[in-house]
């Protein structure tokens, strides 16, 4: 991979990069589009990274379909697929962590304590392997995008990070590889996540500035669905991801919620 991108860069080509865990869907494909709009060549990686799953999480069950993925990516204009195996990514003596302090412990980092350390470590590896000029991440994983941007700035990676908007189903549910875990009933109930975010946006538009009242409303909407188990609902500022009680400037409203065995996340950014 390094020889290939070295060669391309020597020819004056720019490289765009989309890191995925496969199970390619419209969200990923929209990131490929964004990459192609800036870069000459788009590289996509597929790597279901074991270290970023906690114990009891869905590493084994995570959907995999490389044949379908390859086909979708090729047709969407991805020129190079990087598809390493676990043993070549993590040799026996692997010892190194890349860690973004503070940000990695907020929001999803509270339940998923080692998740973001594993994400920044593997993304750092992928950046060194793919050597892209651009890397595109999805807004659905808002915290991940913020953490990776911080890592890139702190470690001086010469990579421009781009964030693509969340792609949604017709009824508003954010597209995710984990949606396949939902039963039919759960799938229907899960739309409440986006409805609650829209409701929050509406309340803010109508002048509400108290996070507590917005969160209360969102919680009651989501809790009205029997199968829903809220992990967190938070209103945070977008640099340190610290909760805010009064909405000013730019805030991230983020939800993580279990429906059956699916842990779904979604968010919106609101500016006042």
- Only segment of 6-14, 23-31, 62-70, 173-181 that touches its own copies (CB under 8 A): 6-14
Is-contact 110 232, C-beta < 8 A?
yes
Nearer to its own copies, 120 or 267 (CB): 120
Active site residue 25: no
- Only segment of 30-38, 97-105, 179-187, 220-228 that touches its own copies (CB under 8 A): 97-105
- Only segment of 7-15, 44-52, 161-169, 256-264 that touches its own copies (CB under 8 A): 7-15
Q: Which residues face 233 on adjacent strands?
A: 255
Is-contact 36 42, C-beta < 8 A?
yes
Phi-psi region of 101 (alpha: psi -120 to 50; beta: other; left: phi over 0): beta
Site string for its own copies, 120-139 (x = CB under 8 A): xx--xx--xx-x--------
Distance CA 258, CA 189 (A): 11
User: Binding to its own copies by residue 246, rule CB under 8 A?
Assistant: no
Nearer to its own copies, 224 or 239 (CB): 239
- What DSSP element (H or E) covers 107? none
Distance CA 136, CA 10 (A): 22
Nearer to its own copies, 9 or 217 (CB): 9
- Only segment of 9-17, 108-116, 173-181, 185-193 that touches its own copies (CB under 8 A): 9-17
Nearer to its own copies, 21 or 151 (CB): 151
Q: What is the largest CA-CA distance in the chain?
A: 58
Which residue do the tokens 């549910």 mark?
173
8-state DSSP, 53: S
Query: Scanning residues 152 to 191, which ones bind its own copies (CB under 8 A)?
Result: 153-158
Nearer to its own copies, 35 or 133 (CB): 133
User: Binding to its own copies by residue 94, rule CB under 8 A?
Assistant: yes
User: Binding to its own copies by residue 12, rule CB under 8 A?
Assistant: yes
Burial string for 200-232 (b: 16+ CB within 10 Å, else e) reads beebbeeeeeebeebbebbeebbeebebbeebb
Residues binding its own copies (CB under 8 A):
2, 6, 9-10, 12, 91, 93-103, 120-121, 124-125, 128-129, 131, 150-151, 153-158, 239
The residues annotated with a catalytic role in the active site are 28
């Amino acid at each position: 991979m390094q020889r290939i991108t070295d060669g391309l860069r020597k020819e004056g080509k720019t490289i765009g990069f989309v890191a995925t865990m496969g199970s390619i869907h419209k969200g990923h494909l929209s990131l490929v589009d964004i990459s192609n709009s800036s870069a000459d060549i788009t590289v996509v990686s597929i790597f279901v990274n074991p270290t970023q799953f906690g114990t009891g999480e869905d590493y084994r069950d995570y959907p995999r379909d490389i044949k379908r993925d390859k086909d979708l990516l090729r047709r969407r204009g991805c020129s190079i697929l990087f598809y390493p195996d676990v043993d070549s990514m993590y040799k026996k003596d692997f010892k190194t962590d890349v860690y973004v302090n503070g940000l990695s412990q907020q929001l999803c980092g509270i339940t998923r304590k080692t998740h973001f350390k594993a994400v920044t470590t593997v993304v750092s590896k992928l950046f060194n392997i793919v050597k892209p000029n651009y890397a595109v991440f999805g807004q659905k994983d808002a915290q991940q995008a913020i953490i990776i941007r911080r890592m890139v700035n702190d470690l001086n990676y010469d990579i421009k990070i781009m964030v693509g908007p969340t792609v949604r189903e017709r009824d508003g549910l954010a597209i995710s590889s984990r949606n396949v875990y939902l039963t039919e009933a759960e799938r229907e109930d899960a739309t409440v996540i986006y409805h609650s975010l829209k409701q929050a946006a509406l309340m803010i538009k109508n002048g509400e500035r108290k996070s507590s009242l917005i969160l209360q409303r969102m919680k009651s909407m989501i809790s009205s669905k029997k199968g829903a188990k809220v992990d967190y609902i938070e209103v945070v500022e977008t640099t340190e991801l610290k909760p805010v009680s009064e909405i000013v400037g730019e805030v991230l409203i983020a939800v993580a919620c279990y429906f059956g065995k699916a842990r779904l996340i979604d968010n919106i950014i609101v500016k006042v």
